[in-house]
Amino acid sequence: MAAVVVGSLTVPLSATAAIDEVNTTKLRQAVTVSGILQHERALQRIANNAGGTRAAGTPGFTASAAYVKARLTMAGYQVTEQPFEFEFYQEVTPATLSQVSPAPQNYETATFTYSGSGNIVGGLVAATNTVVPATPAPSSASGCAATDFAPASATEPQVALIQRGTCTFAIKTANAIAAGYDAVIIFNEGNPGRTELVEGTLGATVSVPVVGLSYADGAALYASVLAGPTTVAVKTEVIAETRTTVNIIADTRTGNKDKVIVVGAHLDSVLEGPGINDNGSGTATILETAIQMKKLKIQPRQQVRFAFWGAEKLGLLGSENYVASASDVDLAKIYANLNFDMLASPNYVRFVYDGDASADPSATAGPPGSAQIESIFNSYFAAKGLATEPTAFDGRSDYGPFIAVGIPAGGLFSGAEGLKTPEEAVTYGGTAGEAYDACYHQACDSITNLNTKAIDELGDAAVHAIMTLARSSTGFFEDGSRMAPRELQSVPASEFDYKGSSLVR
């Protein structure tokens, strides 16, 4: 059985792994919490000078990219900017939704990302295949077929009411628009875990207002439609336009260019805040790792590519552009993808991506090699006496485009809006029943929203995995090879409910 040496500790890997033993001590000691926080402070200053945000398409992101590029260049890397166009989206004012008749009532609602602007007062029409009352199975297919919509009136505004389920929000909305509707309301499905106000993304700009509702409110509107004519008012105000942003890419000068490890973190924040945990923490960690690798004159056996993705928050657009624009030959040279998205959550847990979906067989497993990457992290933490929790590949971060084309992936995650369980609080400390990061996607995700203990523990594990994969002379598989047959590896993108932070179905 192979092993990895960590300081004075021998870290056993699983029997299926063929990764060499690699001493990662010097690099782990060089990548310090203080060094990581230096970059975090710079990102906070950038946000302070840019209206409190570092979102893609804003001056805050441009300055963030310039900072990362400058630090990498100073360290001795040849840095590449990969520009790409994207659909910039910003909500100007919060959406409103009310029932005008027969019983006036206001509802809590939310604008879907890439909704159009509009102020529509019209008759409400429910799509067919709506399932109210909700049942655990089968899920609703409301709006998934063009035939789910009666043709809208050619003379009077009408609003489509659609239930979440089965297909993407984009498909449902496109079918409603094609049928002539002037606005769209999508309410949650009502099954366990799908009852709250639903918010999601449409993936690309549409021409009509699209808003979300909770299951209870949607079911109430549906009942009103069944009882008789119902009029609603829907209002949204957004900015939607094409802008340009970049990925920042830096390769080590040495290492086998036919076996590349892509180490990625998204550089952008949401519009609502500076994103110092999400994802300044991942950005700062891999940036400091790159700098210290140069200072220590580390010579990797595999080429390491540090990638700082743009526009992740709008649906993994930077990493998707990178994968989509690469040739088949270049993609075949990528040995693995390591993804670091949130490493400093205040109420953190040491989550490791579940490469083989062993914790939940219904979840998406990564391509062959992903289980071995998971084992590197778990073995490291185990040797330190630190527990870990598996987290599924659910499409919420930039590993998604890589595993979709068959590239092994793995990484760490300290937790976002989910609530810490009592069992997790016993194991990891912190507060049960509270979010891992109560400032997730908010203005308070600032320099004061970081847990330095999490940075220390997860940062060291990130460095260990990067160094291990960079220096190992053998690969993931039983014969020591590094790549499995490509046709056995791909995971359809449709497996995911998320693209980045946003629900897509």
What pLDDT is recorded for position 13?
Answer: 46
Structure tokens, 442: 């908010």
Closest to 464 (Cα-Cα) out of 376, 386, 372: 376
Give me the count of residues in the chain: 505
**234 touches 285 (CB < 8 A):** no
Q: What is the pTM (predicted TM-score) of this model?
A: 0.86
Name the residue type at position 150: A
CA distance 265 to 280: 9
Query: Given this model, what pLDDT does residue 396 score?
Result: 83
Other CB atoms within 10 Å distance of the CB of residue 228: 8
Residue 361 pLDDT: 82
Distance, CA of 178 to CA of 472 (rounded, Å): 54
Q: How far apart are CA 276 and CA 42, in angstroms?
A: 10
- What pLDDT score does 137 carry? 67
Rounded Cα distance between 187 and 169, Å, is 11
The answer to whether residues 55 and 266 touch, using CB atoms and an 8 Å cutoff, is no
* 102 upstream amide cis, omega within 30 of 0: yes
Whether 478 is catalytic is no
CB atoms within 10 A of CB 425: 16
Which residue in 40, 91, 189, 312 is the catalytic one?
312
Average pLDDT, the chain: 91
Three-class secondary structure of residue 12 per DSSP: strand
pLDDT at residue 495 in the model:
66
Alpha carbon 443 to chain centroid, angstroms: 19
User: What gap in Å lies between CA 1 and CA 10, rounded to an integer?
Assistant: 12
At 468 the three-state DSSP class reads helix
Structure tokens at 59: 């001056």
CB 1 within 8 A of CB 444: no
- Which structure tokens are listed for 110? 């939310």
Q: Which two tokens stand for residue 252?
A: 């080590």
The Cα–Cα gap between 284 and 505 comes to: 32
User: pLDDT digits over 105-141, tens only?
Assistant: 999 999 999 999 999 999 999 999 998 987 766 689 9
The answer to whether 176 and 162 have CB atoms below 8 angstroms apart is yes
Q: Which parts of the chain sit beneath pLDDT 70?
A: 1-19, 136-138, 478-495
Task: Work out whether strand 409-413 and strand 334-340 pair parallel, antiparallel, or are unpaired.
Answer: parallel
305 strand-pairing partners: 251, 262
Residue 158 pairs in a beta bridge with 123
Task: Give Cα 69 to chain centroid, integer Å.
Answer: 23
- All domains of the chain, ordered by start, with CATH? 3-77+252-473 (3.40.630.10), 89-239 (3.50.30.30)
Task: Give per-residue pLDDT as tens, 37-91.
Answer: 999 999 999 999 999 999 999 999 999 999 999 999 999 999 999 999 999 999 9
